[in-house]
Structure formats: C-alpha cells, structure tokens
Structure 1
Amino acid sequence: MKSNIPDGVLEIAREHRALATLRLLDRLGPCSNAEVLQGCLGLIGLRGSRDSFIEQLHALAEQKLITLEKCERVHVVELTARGADVAAGRLEVPGVAKAYPECPY
C-alpha cells in the first residue's frame, strides 16, 4: 500500500525510531527482545510495522550498534559499546537521529 506521507517525513521517523531503540537498550539494560522494544516504541509514538522494525534492527547490527540474534521465533537485541556511544550523543552515524541533552527518549 502506497503512503501519502512524504519520504522525508518517513526518514525522520526511522532515524528517531533508531535512536529511541538504542536509548531504550541503554536505559532498560543492554539486552532485550524485539517484541518488547517495539512495544516501548509504540508507547512513545514511534510505531512501525514489525517487518520495518526488524529491517531497521538488521541495519543497526550492520553498523555494529547492536548485535541481533534469532532464537527460535524471538529476535534478541543487545547494545554494543558503539551503540551506547550513539545513544549518549558521543558518536553520530547515518540513519540514526542525533542524541541531544533534552532528547525525550
């Protein structure tokens, strides 16, 4: 289904979803599963489809910001030191919104 939302808006939402994912892992503990993370993102208004979220997790893993392991039907996500640096705003990477002190998530 084609969306009437401009691509730029969707990209901003994806970048914020990526940052929020890293910050959630940093705050909740460095390891979680994709279902829990996606539920938390929904609570803060950063919903997305499961497929797009799993795709985004793979992109974060390619950038070595998280590790991603599939255990049966569960995706286990773990924050790396590099991912913690991005979550804290010490490092900027493409595809992830820049963290700033007043960041709400």
Structure 2
Amino acid sequence: MSVGEGSSTDRSNLEKYAKLVEGHVYSGQIVGAVGILMNLAGLMGMENMGMLIEVGESTPDYYACRRAVWVLNRLANLGLEDVTVDELMRSYARAVARLES
C-alpha cells in the first residue's frame, strides 16, 4: 500500500464519500492531532476520512450542525431521523441548562 492509499488523501475515497453526502472535495492540509491520526491510520492500512463543516457567524450554527448530523448519518448508516433546526436548538438549550445546574 502506498502512502495516501486508503487514507483521507486517497482521491477515490474522497470522490466516493463526497458523492454519498452531496459534498465537495477540497485540497489543503489537515494539521495537529487530527492530521497525525488520519495519516497514521492510512499508513496502517485503515480506510479513514475527515469531515470539515463550514459554520456561519452565529454561534452555535444550528444549520451547520444539522448538516453534520445528516452527513454522519449517511456515512455511518445510523438510521437517524432528520432533525429540524428547532429540535437542535431545544436540545442545545437543554444540554446547556444541565451543564449549568
């Protein structure tokens, strides 16, 4: 197996997953612990990928969160039902209330 084959930089993997989630393939570097782990996984023959979700100026960005959940559900075949932005907002508010209590 050559460097990059089966890893997050493998062009065939990128194109396969991008089609599955209606995504786009971009080029660039992944640095830090994530970059190290993804490259090590590829060198060990483990198929892997990274997911970068672009967020807007609102914090938290519920639309980006909804897209991330949808993509993860498609990639991992989790069988989750679609959630609305309102449901995500309520879940977030409940989680924050629990953490602050």
Provide the TM-score with structure 2 as the length reference.
0.29
Provide the TM-score with structure 1 as the length reference.
0.28
Of Structure 1 and Structure 2, the greater strand share is in 1
Q: Which has the larger radius of gyration?
A: 2
